[in-house]
Structure 1
Amino acid sequence: MTMHDEKTRFVERDRNWHPPAYAPGYKTSVARSPQQSLVSMQSPSVSEIGGPDFSGLRMGRYDNDLLLNFTQGQALPVGERIIMFGRVIDQFGKPVPNTLVEMWQANAGGRYRHRNDNYLAPLDPNFGGVGRTLTDEQGWYRFRTIKPGPYPWPNDPNSWRPAHIHVSVMGPSISTRLITQMYFEGDPLIPRCPIVNTVNDPDAVETMIGRLDMAHSKPMDCLAYRFDLVVRGRLQTYFENQ
C-alpha cells in the first residue's frame, strides 16, 4: 500500500461506541427505541457524498461571537466568558477546511432560549445561545461565548445535565453532518449523567470533553477550552446522530 493509499483509504469506526437504542437508565429512549428490525439502506448517491461547498458562505460580523451576536454588540450577557476552539480533522489528522461548524447552548443559568424550556432560571436578555463559523484552511474553528450552566431534567427525581455545548459539523459532504456535545473537563456531573452513561466506552466519552487550554486563554478576560472534532474512522469523535 502506498503512502497516498494509506492517507485516503476509509477506516471504519468502532460501532460498539454507540449506546444501545434501548437504554432504560435514559428513560426517553424507552419510547423512542425501534420496535422492528433495522432496514439496510442503499449506497449514498453522488449528491449525498459531494458538497455542499461553504467556501463562498458569508458570515456576519459576530456570527461566532455569542457575547455580541444577540445584541449586535450593544450589551454583554451575564456569565463566565470562555473561548471554545479546535480543529476539524479526518482520521489521519488531515484538516477539513471551509466546513460549517454550528453550536447552540443554554445560558449561564442553564436555560435555553426556547419556548419549551420552562426551567425556573431566568432568560438573559443579552444572550441568544447560537453561533456558527467556517473552518480555515488548517481546519481551525473558534467561538467566544459564556460557559453554560447545568440544568435539571425529569429523568428521575434529581437528574442534572452537565454543562455542555451542542456542536454540529457538516464535514466534507451533506451526508456526513455530525452532531455532538462538548462537556467541560473536570465537571463532576459528567459521570452522573444518565445520557453520558449510555456510552459504555470511557474512550468515547473522552472524545466529548473539552480540555482547558491555558495557553490560549486571555488573562483577565476568559479561559479557553480546546475541542477537536474527528469526523471519520476509528478515532472519530462520538456523535449522537450515528
Structure 2
Amino acid sequence: MTASAKTDPLLGLAASQTVGPFFQIGFEALYQNDLTVPGLKGRLVTIRGQVFDSDKLPVPDAVLEIWQANSLGKYAHPEDQQDKPLDSGFSGFGRCATDAEGRFGFRTVKPGPVPSSTETPQ
C-alpha cells in the first residue's frame, strides 16, 4: 500500500474485533506467510498491505489469516469435491503478523476461479 491512510478515500472500516491483546511469546512458530512449495503450479504473487485502526493509525500487533484455492481453483479441503488436482504440499492457508508500521505480506500463487452461486469475486 502506497497511499497514506489519512488521504486515501478508498479506505473503509472493517468489522470490529475486540479480541486481545494477545500474549505473543512463542506464537511466531504458528506464522506461515510463504505458502509456496517446490513444484507449485501457477503464477506466483505477493500480497502486501497495511492494517489501520479506526483512528487511521497503523496496527503493529494484528494477525492476519488467508485461505485460498490453488491455481486451478481447488481447495485443499475434503468438502471441495471438484474434479481438479491438488498441488502436493500446498495447503492454501497462511498466517502472519503485522510489523511495527502495521504492514504485512503473503507470498502465494494466484488462485484459479472457484464456482460460486453468489457471483462475488473469488
TM-score range, shorter chain: 0.7 to 0.9
Cα deviation for residue 91 of structure 1 reads 2.8
- The secondary structure found in structure 2 opposite 1:89 is coil
Amino acid at match of 2:58: P
Structure 1 residue ranges (4+ consecutive) displaced by more than 6 angstroms after TM superposition: none
Aligned positions of 1:87-166 closer than 5 A: 87-153=50-116, 155=117, 162-163=121-122
Structure number with higher helix proportion? 1
Normalised by the size of structure 2, how large is the TM-score? Answer: 0.74
Q: Which has the higher contact order (CA 8 A, sep 6+)?
A: 2
Gaps of 5+ in 1: 1-12, 15-47, 69-74, 164-242
Q: CA-to-partner distance for each residue in 1:189-208, whole Å, 9 max, x for gaps?
A: xxxxxxxxxxxxxxxxxxxx
CA–CA distance in structure 1, aligned partners of residues 48 and 115 of structure 2: 27
Cα deviation for residue 124 of structure 1 reads 1.1
1:25 paired residue number: none
Amino acid at match of 2:56: G
Aligned residues of 1:76 and 1:126 also touching (Cα < 8 A): no
Aligned residues of 1:89 and 1:96 also touching (Cα < 8 A): yes
Gaps of 5+ in 2: 1-11
1:43 paired residue number: none
Q: CA-to-partner distance for each residue in 1:80-108, whole Å, 9 max, x for gaps?
A: 10000100101332011112111110000
Aligned positions of 1:49-68 closer than 5 A: 49=18, 51-60=20-29, 63-68=32-37
Larger-Rg structure? 1
Q: Kindly tell me: are residues 118 and 160 of structure 1, through their superposed partners in 2, closer, same or farther at Cα, counting changes over 3 Å? A: farther
Cα deviation for residue 76 of structure 1 reads 3.3
Q: Percent identity?
A: 39
Normalised by the size of structure 1, how large is the TM-score? Answer: 0.40
CA–CA distance in structure 2, aligned partners of residues 54 and 85 of structure 1: 25
- The secondary structure found in structure 2 opposite 1:59 is helix
Q: Report how many residues are paired.
A: 108
Amino acid at match of 2:54: Q
1:170 paired residue number: none
Q: Kindly tell me: are residues 61 and 146 of structure 1, through their superposed partners in 2, closer, same or farther at Cα, counting changes over 3 Å? A: same
Aligned residues of 1:151 and 1:160 also touching (Cα < 8 A): no
What CA RMSD, in Å, does the superposition of the two structures yield over aligned residues?
2.7
